[in-house]
Structure 1
Protein backbone atom coordinates (compact mmCIF):
# COMPACT_ATOMS: atom_id res chain seq x y z
CA UNK A 1 0.00 0.00 0.00
CA UNK A 2 1.46 3.41 -0.92
CA UNK A 3 2.37 5.65 1.99
CA UNK A 4 0.61 8.98 2.35
CA UNK A 5 2.53 12.22 2.27
CA UNK A 6 2.58 14.13 5.59
CA UNK A 7 0.37 16.90 4.16
CA UNK A 8 -2.26 14.30 3.21
CA UNK A 9 -2.39 12.69 6.65
CA UNK A 10 -4.99 13.85 9.14
CA UNK A 11 -4.08 14.06 12.79
CA UNK A 12 -5.21 10.97 14.72
CA UNK A 13 -8.15 12.75 16.34
CA UNK A 14 -9.29 14.05 12.94
CA UNK A 15 -8.67 10.76 11.16
CA UNK A 16 -11.07 8.99 13.49
CA UNK A 17 -13.90 11.47 13.11
CA UNK A 18 -16.98 9.93 11.53
CA UNK A 19 -17.38 12.64 8.91
CA UNK A 20 -13.79 12.08 7.71
CA UNK A 21 -14.47 8.43 6.89
CA UNK A 22 -14.89 7.59 3.21
CA UNK A 23 -16.57 4.34 4.21
CA UNK A 24 -19.23 6.23 6.19
CA UNK A 25 -19.84 8.70 3.36
CA UNK A 26 -20.36 5.81 0.93
CA UNK A 27 -22.46 3.79 3.41
CA UNK A 28 -24.75 6.66 4.39
CA UNK A 29 -25.13 7.71 0.75
CA UNK A 30 -26.04 4.13 -0.17
CA UNK A 31 -28.72 4.14 2.53
CA UNK A 32 -30.06 7.48 1.28
CA UNK A 33 -30.15 6.23 -2.33
CA UNK A 34 -31.96 3.04 -1.34
CA UNK A 35 -34.48 5.14 0.59
CA UNK A 36 -34.94 7.33 -2.49
CA UNK A 37 -35.64 4.28 -4.67
CA UNK A 38 -38.05 2.64 -2.21
CA UNK A 39 -41.29 4.47 -3.12
CA UNK A 40 -40.53 4.30 -6.84
CA UNK A 41 -39.91 0.56 -6.68
CA UNK A 42 -42.84 -0.17 -4.37
CA UNK A 43 -45.13 1.09 -7.16
CA UNK A 44 -43.67 -1.74 -9.25
CA UNK A 45 -43.83 -4.28 -6.43
CA UNK A 46 -40.05 -4.58 -6.35
CA UNK A 47 -37.33 -4.44 -3.77
CA UNK A 48 -34.07 -2.70 -4.56
CA UNK A 49 -32.12 -5.98 -5.04
CA UNK A 50 -34.88 -7.28 -7.33
CA UNK A 51 -34.63 -4.07 -9.36
CA UNK A 52 -30.87 -4.55 -9.71
CA UNK A 53 -31.38 -8.14 -10.88
CA UNK A 54 -33.94 -6.97 -13.43
CA UNK A 55 -31.59 -4.26 -14.69
CA UNK A 56 -28.96 -6.92 -15.37
CA UNK A 57 -31.50 -9.24 -17.01
CA UNK A 58 -32.94 -6.45 -19.15
CA UNK A 59 -29.41 -6.01 -20.51
CA UNK A 60 -28.76 -9.76 -20.97
CA UNK A 61 -31.72 -12.11 -20.59
CA UNK A 62 -30.80 -15.72 -19.89
CA UNK A 63 -27.78 -15.08 -17.67
CA UNK A 64 -26.40 -17.98 -15.68
CA UNK A 65 -27.03 -17.58 -11.95
CA UNK A 66 -23.27 -17.45 -11.36
CA UNK A 67 -22.88 -14.66 -13.93
CA UNK A 68 -25.77 -12.70 -12.45
CA UNK A 69 -24.24 -13.07 -8.99
CA UNK A 70 -20.89 -11.82 -10.27
CA UNK A 71 -22.55 -8.89 -12.04
CA UNK A 72 -24.43 -7.87 -8.87
CA UNK A 73 -21.59 -8.72 -6.46
CA UNK A 74 -23.91 -11.16 -4.66
CA UNK A 75 -23.10 -14.65 -3.42
CA UNK A 76 -25.41 -17.58 -4.13
CA UNK A 77 -26.71 -17.58 -0.55
CA UNK A 78 -28.14 -14.10 -1.14
CA UNK A 79 -29.03 -14.49 -4.80
CA UNK A 80 -30.92 -17.80 -4.64
CA UNK A 81 -33.69 -16.62 -2.25
CA UNK A 82 -33.96 -13.39 -4.22
CA UNK A 83 -34.48 -15.31 -7.47
CA UNK A 84 -36.96 -17.68 -5.82
CA UNK A 85 -39.06 -14.69 -4.72
CA UNK A 86 -38.85 -13.21 -8.22
CA UNK A 87 -39.88 -16.55 -9.71
CA UNK A 88 -42.83 -16.75 -7.28
CA UNK A 89 -43.83 -13.25 -8.47
CA UNK A 90 -43.68 -14.55 -12.08
CA UNK A 91 -40.95 -12.09 -13.08
CA UNK A 92 -38.33 -14.69 -13.98
CA UNK A 93 -38.02 -18.41 -14.54
CA UNK A 94 -35.04 -20.54 -13.65
CA UNK A 95 -34.03 -23.14 -16.18
CA UNK A 96 -31.32 -25.80 -15.96
CA UNK A 97 -28.97 -25.83 -18.90
CA UNK A 98 -29.43 -28.94 -21.06
CA UNK A 99 -25.66 -28.95 -21.69
CA UNK A 100 -24.71 -28.76 -18.00
CA UNK A 101 -27.34 -29.55 -15.37
CA UNK A 102 -25.26 -27.76 -12.72
CA UNK A 103 -25.76 -24.51 -14.60
CA UNK A 104 -29.02 -22.60 -14.13
CA UNK A 105 -30.04 -19.75 -16.39
CA UNK A 106 -32.44 -16.97 -15.45
CA UNK A 107 -34.96 -15.88 -18.07
CA UNK A 108 -37.36 -12.99 -17.90
CA UNK A 109 -41.05 -13.77 -18.16
CA UNK A 110 -43.41 -11.52 -20.12
CA UNK A 111 -44.26 -9.80 -16.82
CA UNK A 112 -40.56 -9.27 -16.09
CA UNK A 113 -39.99 -7.77 -19.52
CA UNK A 114 -43.10 -5.57 -19.19
CA UNK A 115 -41.75 -4.00 -16.00
CA UNK A 116 -38.95 -2.43 -18.03
CA UNK A 117 -41.43 -0.02 -19.61
CA UNK A 118 -42.81 0.96 -16.20
CA UNK A 119 -39.31 1.33 -14.73
CA UNK A 120 -38.10 3.60 -17.54
CA UNK A 121 -38.94 6.76 -15.58
CA UNK A 122 -36.95 5.78 -12.50
CA UNK A 123 -33.48 7.00 -13.62
CA UNK A 124 -34.91 10.42 -14.45
CA UNK A 125 -36.61 10.65 -11.06
CA UNK A 126 -33.36 9.74 -9.34
CA UNK A 127 -31.36 12.24 -11.41
CA UNK A 128 -33.84 14.98 -10.53
CA UNK A 129 -33.71 14.08 -6.82
CA UNK A 130 -29.89 14.31 -6.78
CA UNK A 131 -30.07 17.91 -8.02
CA UNK A 132 -26.91 17.17 -10.03
CA UNK A 133 -26.29 17.48 -13.72
CA UNK A 134 -26.27 14.32 -15.81
CA UNK A 135 -22.56 14.88 -16.45
CA UNK A 136 -21.84 15.12 -12.72
CA UNK A 137 -23.74 11.90 -12.02
CA UNK A 138 -21.99 10.07 -14.86
CA UNK A 139 -18.57 11.22 -13.56
CA UNK A 140 -19.40 10.36 -9.95
CA UNK A 141 -20.62 6.92 -11.02
CA UNK A 142 -17.41 6.36 -12.97
CA UNK A 143 -15.25 7.39 -10.00
CA UNK A 144 -17.15 5.23 -7.50
CA UNK A 145 -16.92 2.25 -9.88
CA UNK A 146 -13.17 2.84 -10.23
CA UNK A 147 -12.84 2.94 -6.44
CA UNK A 148 -14.87 -0.28 -6.14
CA UNK A 149 -12.67 -1.96 -8.73
CA UNK A 150 -9.47 -0.74 -7.04
CA UNK A 151 -10.65 -1.98 -3.64
CA UNK A 152 -11.58 -5.29 -5.25
CA UNK A 153 -8.05 -5.59 -6.62
CA UNK A 154 -6.51 -4.71 -3.26
CA UNK A 155 -8.75 -7.11 -1.37
CA UNK A 156 -7.57 -9.97 -3.58
CA UNK A 157 -3.85 -9.41 -3.00
CA UNK A 158 -2.02 -11.78 -0.64
CA UNK A 159 -0.83 -8.87 1.53
CA UNK A 160 -4.42 -8.21 2.52
CA UNK A 161 -5.36 -11.82 3.11
CA UNK A 162 -5.98 -12.82 6.71
Structure 2
Protein backbone atom coordinates (compact mmCIF):
# COMPACT_ATOMS: atom_id res chain seq x y z
CA UNK A 1 0.00 0.00 0.00
CA UNK A 2 3.03 2.26 0.33
CA UNK A 3 2.97 5.27 -2.01
CA UNK A 4 -0.63 4.71 -3.09
CA UNK A 5 -2.90 7.70 -2.61
CA UNK A 6 -6.30 7.38 -1.02
CA UNK A 7 -8.08 8.37 -4.23
CA UNK A 8 -6.07 5.77 -6.18
CA UNK A 9 -7.18 2.98 -3.82
CA UNK A 10 -10.80 4.17 -3.94
CA UNK A 11 -10.81 4.45 -7.72
CA UNK A 12 -9.13 1.12 -8.49
CA UNK A 13 -11.31 -0.70 -5.97
CA UNK A 14 -14.47 0.84 -7.39
CA UNK A 15 -13.38 -0.01 -10.95
CA UNK A 16 -12.83 -3.63 -9.91
CA UNK A 17 -16.27 -3.80 -8.25
CA UNK A 18 -17.87 -2.13 -11.27
CA UNK A 19 -16.19 -4.59 -13.66
CA UNK A 20 -17.24 -7.57 -11.50
CA UNK A 21 -20.89 -6.45 -11.42
CA UNK A 22 -20.94 -5.67 -15.15
CA UNK A 23 -19.50 -9.09 -15.99
CA UNK A 24 -22.16 -10.74 -13.84
CA UNK A 25 -24.95 -8.57 -15.27
CA UNK A 26 -23.82 -9.24 -18.85
CA UNK A 27 -24.68 -12.90 -18.35
CA UNK A 28 -28.29 -11.74 -18.23
CA UNK A 29 -28.08 -9.01 -20.88
CA UNK A 30 -27.92 -6.23 -18.32
CA UNK A 31 -25.50 -3.74 -16.74
CA UNK A 32 -24.48 -2.69 -13.26
CA UNK A 33 -26.11 0.71 -13.83
CA UNK A 34 -29.42 -0.98 -14.64
CA UNK A 35 -29.18 -3.17 -11.54
CA UNK A 36 -28.36 -0.19 -9.33
CA UNK A 37 -31.31 1.71 -10.77
CA UNK A 38 -33.66 -1.23 -10.19
CA UNK A 39 -32.50 -1.40 -6.56
CA UNK A 40 -33.07 2.35 -6.12
CA UNK A 41 -36.72 2.25 -7.22
CA UNK A 42 -39.30 1.59 -4.50
CA UNK A 43 -40.86 -1.72 -5.62
CA UNK A 44 -44.22 -0.92 -4.00
CA UNK A 45 -44.87 2.81 -4.45
CA UNK A 46 -42.52 3.68 -7.28
CA UNK A 47 -40.04 6.53 -7.07
CA UNK A 48 -40.35 10.11 -8.36
CA UNK A 49 -38.05 10.53 -11.33
CA UNK A 50 -36.70 13.78 -9.85
CA UNK A 51 -35.50 12.09 -6.65
CA UNK A 52 -33.94 9.07 -8.37
CA UNK A 53 -30.83 10.90 -9.66
CA UNK A 54 -29.86 12.43 -6.30
CA UNK A 55 -30.61 9.13 -4.54
CA UNK A 56 -28.18 7.37 -6.86
CA UNK A 57 -25.63 10.20 -7.06
CA UNK A 58 -26.13 10.52 -10.82
CA UNK A 59 -26.59 13.42 -13.19
CA UNK A 60 -30.03 13.73 -14.79
CA UNK A 61 -28.72 13.23 -18.34
CA UNK A 62 -27.02 9.92 -17.50
CA UNK A 63 -30.06 8.71 -15.61
CA UNK A 64 -32.41 9.70 -18.46
CA UNK A 65 -30.48 7.45 -20.84
CA UNK A 66 -30.61 4.52 -18.42
CA UNK A 67 -34.35 5.00 -17.76
CA UNK A 68 -35.11 5.19 -21.48
CA UNK A 69 -33.25 1.91 -22.08
CA UNK A 70 -34.97 0.29 -19.10
CA UNK A 71 -38.38 1.41 -20.35
CA UNK A 72 -37.64 0.06 -23.83
CA UNK A 73 -36.62 -3.29 -22.30
CA UNK A 74 -39.87 -3.44 -20.30
CA UNK A 75 -38.24 -3.13 -16.86
CA UNK A 76 -39.99 0.07 -15.80
CA UNK A 77 -42.99 2.19 -16.66
CA UNK A 78 -43.60 5.85 -16.04
CA UNK A 79 -46.86 6.94 -14.43
CA UNK A 80 -48.15 10.37 -13.46
CA UNK A 81 -47.51 11.23 -9.81
CA UNK A 82 -50.94 11.47 -8.12
CA UNK A 83 -49.51 13.90 -5.55
CA UNK A 84 -47.88 16.17 -8.14
CA UNK A 85 -49.60 16.44 -11.51
CA UNK A 86 -46.39 17.63 -13.16
CA UNK A 87 -44.26 14.80 -11.77
CA UNK A 88 -43.68 11.26 -12.91
CA UNK A 89 -43.26 8.12 -10.82
CA UNK A 90 -40.99 5.34 -12.03
CA UNK A 91 -42.57 1.93 -11.35
CA UNK A 92 -41.11 -1.53 -11.83
CA UNK A 93 -42.89 -3.91 -14.17
CA UNK A 94 -43.15 -7.59 -13.25
CA UNK A 95 -40.05 -8.18 -15.39
CA UNK A 96 -38.33 -5.29 -13.58
CA UNK A 97 -39.17 -6.84 -10.19
CA UNK A 98 -37.68 -10.14 -11.37
CA UNK A 99 -34.46 -8.43 -12.49
CA UNK A 100 -34.42 -6.39 -9.25
CA UNK A 101 -34.53 -9.60 -7.20
CA UNK A 102 -31.61 -10.94 -9.23
CA UNK A 103 -29.63 -7.71 -8.68
CA UNK A 104 -30.38 -7.79 -4.96
CA UNK A 105 -29.16 -11.38 -4.75
CA UNK A 106 -25.86 -10.44 -6.43
CA UNK A 107 -25.31 -7.47 -4.08
CA UNK A 108 -26.02 -9.62 -1.02
CA UNK A 109 -23.66 -12.33 -2.30
CA UNK A 110 -20.91 -9.71 -2.68
CA UNK A 111 -21.57 -8.34 0.82
CA UNK A 112 -21.57 -11.81 2.38
CA UNK A 113 -18.27 -12.69 0.68
CA UNK A 114 -16.62 -9.50 1.95
CA UNK A 115 -17.98 -10.05 5.48
CA UNK A 116 -16.51 -13.57 5.51
CA UNK A 117 -13.04 -12.22 4.75
CA UNK A 118 -12.93 -8.98 6.74
CA UNK A 119 -13.50 -8.77 10.49
CA UNK A 120 -16.46 -6.68 11.64
CA UNK A 121 -14.20 -4.13 13.37
CA UNK A 122 -12.28 -3.48 10.15
CA UNK A 123 -15.51 -3.14 8.16
CA UNK A 124 -16.81 -0.66 10.74
CA UNK A 125 -13.61 1.36 10.34
CA UNK A 126 -14.03 1.25 6.56
CA UNK A 127 -17.57 2.64 6.86
CA UNK A 128 -16.40 5.36 9.25
CA UNK A 129 -13.57 6.42 6.93
CA UNK A 130 -15.91 6.47 3.92
CA UNK A 131 -18.40 8.60 5.87
CA UNK A 132 -15.72 11.15 6.80
CA UNK A 133 -14.51 11.32 3.17
CA UNK A 134 -18.09 11.88 1.97
CA UNK A 135 -18.71 14.56 4.61
CA UNK A 136 -15.50 16.41 3.71
CA UNK A 137 -16.44 16.38 0.04
CA UNK A 138 -20.11 17.30 0.49
CA UNK A 139 -19.24 20.10 2.92
CA UNK A 140 -16.61 21.37 0.46
CA UNK A 141 -13.82 21.20 3.02
CA UNK A 142 -11.04 20.07 0.70
CA UNK A 143 -10.44 22.55 -2.14
CA UNK A 144 -10.49 26.34 -2.14
CA UNK A 145 -13.07 26.69 0.56
CA UNK A 146 -13.37 29.06 3.49
CA UNK A 147 -12.79 26.27 6.02
CA UNK A 148 -10.20 24.44 3.93
CA UNK A 149 -8.66 21.70 6.08
CA UNK A 150 -5.47 21.77 4.03
CA UNK A 151 -4.48 25.25 5.32
* Pairwise CA distance, 1:100: 3.5
- The alignment's TM-score, normalised by the length of structure 2, stands at 0.76
Q: 1:82 to 1:120 in 2, by over 3 A?
A: closer
Q: What is the aligned residue count?
A: 143
Structure 1 residue 69 corresponds to structure 2 residue 53:
yes
> Moved runs in structure 1, 4+ residues, more than 3 A?
58-61, 98-102, 136-139, 155-158
SS class of match (1:46):
coil
Identify the match of residue 33 of structure 2 among 41, 49, 69: 49
Output the TM-score relative to the length of structure 1. 0.71
CA distance in 1, matches of 2:79, 2:114: 38
Distance, in Å, in 1 between the alignment partners of 2:137 and 2:52 is 21
Q: Does residue 112 in structure 1 map to residue 85 in structure 2?
A: no
Counterpart CA distance in 1 for 2:27 and 2:125 is: 29
Q: Which residue of 2 aligns with 1:147?
A: 133
The alpha carbon displacement at 1:65 in A equals 1.3
Aligned to 2:6: 22
Segment drifting more, 48-57 vs 82-91: 48-57
Q: Which string of whole-angstrom CA distances, capped at 9 and with x for unpartnered residues, describes residues 38-80 of structure 1?
A: 2221233221111111111156641111211011111111111
Distance (whole Å) between structure 1 residues aligned to residue 94 and residue 23 of structure 2? 23
Give unmatched runs, 5+ long, in structure 1: 1-17
Unaligned regions of 5+ residues in structure 2, if any?
A: 147-151
Q: CA RMSD in A?
A: 3.0
Match of 2:139, SS state, is helix
Matched-pair contact (CA < 8 Å) for 1:37–1:126? no
Greater length-normalized contact order (CA 8 Å, ≥ 6 residues apart): 2
Cα 1:49–1:100 change in 2 (3 A) is same
